[in-house]
Structure 1
């Protein structure tokens, strides 16, 4: 990369997935000598600075008396906890009872922080603003800096008639239910979209695309998904889109396997269980998984999450509230996951087959994609039987599938998506700097 310093402002969604995705890119850019600033949500205070970044944070809602003591991403942990009963419903029913309230919460946060974000941009004076979120923040669209959008969810977010609708978890090869799902999305979201679109335009930003809550960049857009699992054969993208086959941050500490995991009996595999910071907050689900997996010959490393004190692990398990996922994954044989895009793409990067138990948002789309491509097994999260879990374990631990995924992982790693994405951001920022300098020169 060119050594001349640039200023790059990241604004990720408050959840761990998008923030970790931006941390990985930001770390590459910081090490190249650039100034990297995070306009993250306030509960991340101190955590990004510890990694070498500047923090200029925003509140998405009026701060509470205990705001300084909140865990990173607490805003969304609380929201998911309060709406968790909706995850048991079919995806088409979740449109009104979960997806709509989620959009509303995201929109409320965007509206609330808009004045703060304008002030941050004025202070930071970025060459490029990089948004990894799913709603528009007009301040990012109306400032002088260039704008880069990152899609760190399943790329069905870039919609098209030849692919299944986003959030549906419907199969790619059977369009029977696609139109009904799209019609219900229109019925349940049209009014919300119209209101938000009007506000976006009032702030000076362009109108939003039809029934979408965020713009694409006219300059450069990034998305995180391996070529082997992508949808571009059914839904081509224009030249502004750049695929990052994976985006595995290099900031996690090394993970040394505990003796229970390292010294396991012959024939015992090592499986990583993570439902993410939000999914693992469902204590009943975690207890169910511990119970069924305890009756297998395998060993498990469990990411226990924010409710880690509320359930106990079985004798064939070790775990902790937080685990360095990116350095742990290369050492396991398979993964049981909620289907968050970070975990799915990181598992593929390391060539690990998956059992996917989707809960919300794009997790159904990832679960379906892994299953229909044969990269893993999708199970019904709240109704799987013991026998289904055991059969899924046999499938993902088979030598044939593990061998196939090892080859996929090697190909993904060879494309180095993290540095490819950082190079796009740097290029856009440098082009902006050149335009500004040229304008100043002409005016002088």
Structure 2
């Protein structure tokens, strides 16, 4: 019997497109997938053929103004991208959590009415904060963790956003202590909001909880952490990424070096605002024996006199591009991180914010690529890392094994099967 499954991803392309992949698989099982959406993302879901219902996550404004708000937010923080994760807590991270708490307050105004209208049988939320209306709607709800798995805390693993190494326990403590100190006024405000809405307060540092029904982690098995408290499979399942299908992509001919290895460079739609870094990478690649496809987002008009071995564009169908390249340079966003592993491609991660720091550290310490600072590098550093990505036999072997493991387990299909059991029976028994 067909049920209605609602998806409520964060207003960012990573969570949005992961949910699209799961929603496509859910519909293949005969259910109806609908989206609860930030107004600026409604057209994204409609473009994939889904019904989408707007939920204001901030003061209502036209979609193009909303897109500009986040673009300006990120671009205003570009100087902070040079700082270590712990030094970003006082600026970027604090500002983010302030905006995220505000989004939960705004959502609470719209969500009860929207849920009453669409009457979902199951709700899947991919965000870092609790929306009380979802928990209180009276139907099973699922948490999707599309960022690094350390969003689900454990005493033995690095804190979320810290970029700490797995065994750097002193670094773990220093980050946790600093984060909790800086975030306390924001956290107190959020707990007051929870109390107003009949929810118990969260301990310091926590803004969300695990769902008692099911939590789906997109993190791949090959890079997951060893926990002090292993996650119970009846409540937590790893999806090995959720790589969506995109239209085919044909690599265009280059003016030069057509026989050389192909690199793909992308810092995501928001990271594209760091044009100085992208121009520096393009200049360096221009002197090296490679070709490069470079995602420059909305800033294409700022790129002139490109080297003959570089092609820039505002957007690429990434899951169709990555299988055709030899290495990827990216910012550590979860889609790029898992897609590189899924297709067995080495990555150089130059993180700037959020879980990019965690993913960069993890790709390096598990031998699937390299972590590189965004600004403190030389042309020789980049050349050496690219050479190792393309020619290191141990890395090739590891990536091939990870890719085979992930591709043997279809993340969206597995997620859809779990959601199907939950929506039919009210529980997942594994």
- Shorter-chain TM range is over 0.9
Instruction: Name the residue aligned to 2:244.
Output: 249
2:48 is the alignment partner of 1:56: no
Q: Is the 8 A contact 2:258 2:309 kept in 1?
A: no
Partner of 1:310: 302
Q: Decide which moves more: 219-228 or 39-48.
A: 39-48
Q: Find the residue that maps to 1:422 and give its secondary structure.
A: helix
Of 55, 74, 78, which aligns to 1:80? 74
Please give the alpha-carbon distance, in whole angstroms, between the structure 2 residues aligned to 1:399 and 1:85: 34
The match for 2:180 among 153, 177, 186 is: 186
The residue correspondences of 1:41-440 to structure 2 (distance < 5 A) are 41-64=38-61, 67-69=62-64, 74-239=68-233, 240-250=235-245, 252-260=246-254, 264-265=258-259, 268-312=260-304, 313-400=306-393, 401-432=395-426
Greater displacement, 115-124 / 393-402: 393-402
Q: d(CA) in 1 for partners of 2:403 and 2:195? A: 43
Q: Is the 8 A contact 1:14 1:76 kept in 2?
A: no
- The alignment partner of 2:311 has SS state of strand
Cα distance in 1 for partners of 2:411, 2:42 equals 28
Match of 2:24 among 17, 22, 27: 27
Q: TM-score, normalised by structure 1?
A: 0.91
Question: How many residue pairs get matched?
Answer: 425
Superposition RMSD in Å = 2.0
Superposition deviation, residue 262 in structure 1: 11
CA–CA distance in 2 between the matches of 1:90 and 1:28? Answer: 39
**Alignment partners' CA distance in 1, 2:7 and 2:134:** 10
TM-score of the pair, normalised by structure 2: 0.94
Provide the rounded CA distance (Å) in 2 between the counterparts of 1:33 and 1:421: 14
**Preserved contact between residue 141 and residue 205 of structure 1 (Cα < 8 Å):** no
- The answer to which of 79-88 and 128-137 deviates more is 79-88
Q: Equivalents in 1 of 2:363, 2:401: separation in Å?
A: 16
Q: Give how far 1:140 is off.
A: 0.8
Is the contact between residue 272 and residue 298 of structure 2 (CA under 8 Å) also seen in structure 1?
yes
Task: Tell me, yes or no, if the aligned pair for 1:24 and 1:248 is still in contact at 8 Å.
Answer: yes
Between 1:170-179 and 1:231-240, the stretch displaced more is 231-240
How far, CA to CA, are the matches of 1:70 and 1:260 in structure 2?
36
CA distance, structure 1, for counterparts of residue 199 and residue 46 of structure 2: 31
Query: Conserved in 2, the CA contact under 8 Å of 1:95 and 1:188?
Result: yes
Residue 84 of structure 1: how far off its partner (Å): 2.2
Q: What CA distance in whole angstroms lies between the structure 2 residues aligned with 1:404 and 1:22? A: 28
Contact 1:9/1:37 (<8 A) preserved? yes
Q: Relative to structure 1, is the Cα distance of residues 68 and 185 closer, same or farther in structure 2, using a 3 angstrom cutoff? A: closer
- Give a deviation string over 1:328-372, Cα, whole Å, max 9, x none: 111111111100111100110000010000000010100000111
Gaps of 5+ in 1: 434-444
Deviations 1:307-340 (A, max 9, x none): 2222244321123111100111111111111001
CA distance in 2, matches of 1:281, 1:430: 45
Structure 1 residues 262 and 17, CA gap change in structure 2 (3 angstroms): farther
Judging changes above 3 Å, is the alpha-carbon distance between structure 1 residues 261 and 376 closer, same or farther for their aligned structure 2 residues? Answer: farther
SS of structure 1 residue aligned to 2:43: coil
